[in-house]
Amino acid sequence: MTLDHLFRGAVRRALLCLLLAPALAFAADEPVALQGDVSSAEEGKMEGVVVSAKRADSTISVSVVSDAKGHYRFPRGRLAAGDYGIVIRAVGYDLEQPVTAAVGGKPARADLRLKKAADRVSQMTNAELMVSMPGSERDKRNLLVCVTCHTLQRVIHSKYSAEQFTTIILPRMQRYVNQSMPGAPQVRKGERVMEERGEDRIEIYKEMGAFLASINLHDRDNWTYEVKPFARPTGAATKVIYTEYDLPRPLIQPHDVVLDSKGMVWYSNFGEQNIGRVDPKTGAVKEFNVGISKPEFPTGILALRNDREGKLWLGNMYQASIARFDPATEKFNFYRPAKEDDLPSTQLNQVAAMNSGVDGKVWAQNSGFAGVHRFDLATGKVETWAPFKDTGTVHNIYDVISDSHNNAFFTDFRQQEIGRIDAKTGKVTLYTIPTKGASPRRGSMDDRDRLWFGEYRGHKIGMLDTKTEDIKEWTVPTPFSAPYDVVLDRTDHAWTGSMTTDRVARLDIKTGKFTEYLLPRETNIRRVFVDDTTPRPTFWVGSNHGASIVKLETLQ
Ligand code: HEC
């Protein structure tokens, strides 16, 4: 986006707000496509039940949430005429019988009767399982690694003994790269695997193995603990509408989702060498092959980010490059680190090009050695920082984000530091997050140069004001929320998602109040994105293990 674009964007936003303000204010009177009441014998009318409608011939499903009276309603504009299948999400409950509804003509009605779920445990989110199970805080924190690739359902339903976990299962998991998931495992190459890590690692596996065999079905038919569900959404958290777009193959992992300047939706595929484009009007998907440069190494793309000129930038992970993609010409340009930095462990996951207009340079990180690269786009010159090289402690530079002067800020996922690299002098400054072991993961810079980031092990939203150097933190209410990434919208709400709760949390930074929106189904959330050009900010996210893109619009 150029300044001109930004200005036009602001005018467009203002106009849209004026035009749509009355319509939104009277949203309750909007014509209805489909509505009904949700109830059960146990609770009577039920609030906070997510109701999803999908036409058999469509890849798009739309979901709303029942209000305090147990009533749900789909606005007319959201469901085209046709026959819809209805499903619900309410932990502990299933639909009494399958429900379909014919939409078109006058408002359709479908009252939904729920019954106790036959298998309540399988409906639980990772966080509900973690809260319910016995074990120390440390035991449970270790499970935050497992949810990178699959839910804890797989773990608690297994029958392995402590010994089997220690000697077979955990070493097997360790060998998979992070973009693995059941059905699409990929093995580490040239990185230190368990056998080379020695006795320390084996001790850790022993401790974890004993714990894991205490929470699964080893030697028993039922769990030794009762699973306790979280409360369903209430009040503001029910004023929401979700649109979910299915991707064409179940093993596509839409890790990062961004919108381009034309409103098209783009995702990076975490496990394969392609990115995809979704037309939000039709749901049509087109994939673009990124190509392979290191055939013997794992495939997959992590970061996908915009610059201000309408180009997309991606982190090509083990293929050891970053790339610029032009949505207009559909062409990629690749940038690679220097030969001596292209090692078997080299992994370029993140890229920061938002402020490359300042000096013609783009930042990237390298997980291979906790490094940061800066690419000069005109000359091809690459500079490299390895700020922790001789410290003797373990660090993982996870994300890199630029401010308006194109200084770089990075998160240290293994610790609780945010680093700054001065664009002019190259000097590195470290800021310590008050929460010990916070594990800052990914983040974004707002237009006042405040860095917002997810504290994965601190369960908080963090903010570093890069001008005053103050750090503020807000705890996400749902336990074990493990925020991955944070973005601030233009109305001063900070948004984050979770790999454990299936909830999207919105923080009002003025009042400190959170609203947590329960998504229609299991959703492993990574990067979060907000479209600030809509009358109300629209939230977008990929369902990393669910092969779909989810749009969330608040109704108040
Ligand atoms: C890097 C990705 C990754 C991580 C991290 C990971 N897993 Fe897995 N896991 C997989 C894949 C892929 C499969 C399916 C293939 C297989 O069984 O090896 C799997 C399967 C499993 C199974 C079923 C195995 C079977 O034979 O039935 C268990 C149990 C399991 N994982 C436990 C764990 C636990 C516990 C953790 C965390 C300590 C963990 N996993 C972390 C990728 C991972």
Residue pLDDT, tens place only, 74-100 = 999 999 999 999 999 999 999 999 999
- Closest approach atom of ligand 1 to CA 185: 12
- Matching residue, tokens 């990062």: 256
Q: Which residues, including other chains, have CB under 8 Å from residue 128's CB and lie 6 or more apart?
A: 91, 227, 228, 229, 230
The tokens describing 118, both together, are 């036959």
Tell me, what's the pLDDT at 105? 86
Tell me, what's the pLDDT at 192? 60
Residue 150 Cβ inside 6 Å of ligand 1? The answer reads yes
- Closest approach atom of ligand 1 to CA 212: 35
For the stretch 201-232, pLDDT in tens is 889 999 999 999 999 999 999 999 999 999 99
Whole-prediction pTM = 0.94
Residue 212 Cβ inside 6 Å of ligand 1? The answer reads yes
- Closest approach atom of ligand 1 to CA 184: 12
- Matching residue, tokens 């399982």: 129
Reported confidence tier of residue 126, pLDDT bands at 50, 70, 90: very high
Residue 349 Cβ inside 6 Å of ligand 1? The answer reads no
* Rounded Cα gap, residues 260 and 307, in angstroms: 10
> Whose C-alpha lies nearest to ligand 1, atom 17?
182
- Calculate mean pLDDT across residues 430-434: 98
For the stretch 291-348, pLDDT in tens is 999 999 999 999 999 999 999 999 999 999 999 999 999 999 999 999 988 888 899 9
Going from the Cα of 394 to the center of ligand 1, the distance in angstroms, rounded, reads 24
Reported confidence tier of residue 556, pLDDT bands at 50, 70, 90: confident
Q: Is the pLDDT of residue 12 over 50?
A: no
Tell me, what's the pLDDT at 341? 87
* Rounded Cα gap, residues 354 and 399, in angstroms: 14
Q: Is the pLDDT of residue 29 over 90?
A: no
Going from the Cα of 197 to the center of ligand 1, the distance in angstroms, rounded, reads 19
Which of 146, 177, 181 has most ligand 1 atoms within 8 Å of CB, for mutation?
146
Q: Is the pLDDT of residue 27 over 90?
A: no
Tell me, what's the pLDDT at 197? 60
Residue 173 Cβ inside 6 Å of ligand 1? The answer reads yes
Q: Is the pLDDT of residue 25 over 70?
A: no
* Rounded Cα gap, residues 542 and 267, in angstroms: 7
Q: Which residues, including other chains, have CB under 8 Å from residue 108's CB and lie 6 or more apart?
A: 33, 34, 35, 101, 102
Q: Is the CA virtual torsion 222, 227, 232, 233 positive or negative? A: negative
Tell me, what's the pLDDT at 325? 98
Query: Residue 161's closest CA among 203, 121, 201, 220?
Result: 220
Residue 148 Cβ inside 6 Å of ligand 1? The answer reads yes
> Whose C-alpha lies nearest to ligand 1, atom 23?
154
- Calculate mean pLDDT across residues 2-27: 42
Q: Exposed (0-12), middle (13-18) or buried (19+): which is 381, by Cβ within 10 Å? A: exposed
Tell me, what's the pLDDT at 191? 66
Residue 172 Cβ inside 6 Å of ligand 1? The answer reads yes
Going from the Cα of 154 to the center of ligand 1, the distance in angstroms, rounded, reads 8
Mean pLDDT, the chain, rounded, equals 93
Tell me, what's the pLDDT at 190? 72
Tell me, what's the pLDDT at 200? 80
Going from the Cα of 183 to the center of ligand 1, the distance in angstroms, rounded, reads 11
Q: Is the pLDDT of residue 30 over 90?
A: no
Tell me, what's the pLDDT at 201? 84
Q: Exposed (0-12), middle (13-18) or buried (19+): which is 153, by Cβ within 10 Å? A: middle
Domains of the chain, start order: 31-118 (2.60.40.10), 122-215 (no CATH), 235-554 (2.130.10.10)
Tell me, what's the pLDDT at 381? 96
Alpha-carbon distances, residue 337 vs 85, 131, 386 (angstroms): 51, 43, 13
Going from the Cα of 125 to the center of ligand 1, the distance in angstroms, rounded, reads 17
- Calculate mean pLDDT across residues 170-174: 95
> Whose C-alpha lies nearest to ligand 1, atom 26?
169
- Closest approach atom of ligand 1 to CA 177: 1
Tell me, what's the pLDDT at 14? 46
Tell me, what's the pLDDT at 11? 44
Going from the Cα of 181 to the center of ligand 1, the distance in angstroms, rounded, reads 8
For the stretch 344-364, pLDDT in tens is 889 999 999 999 999 999 999
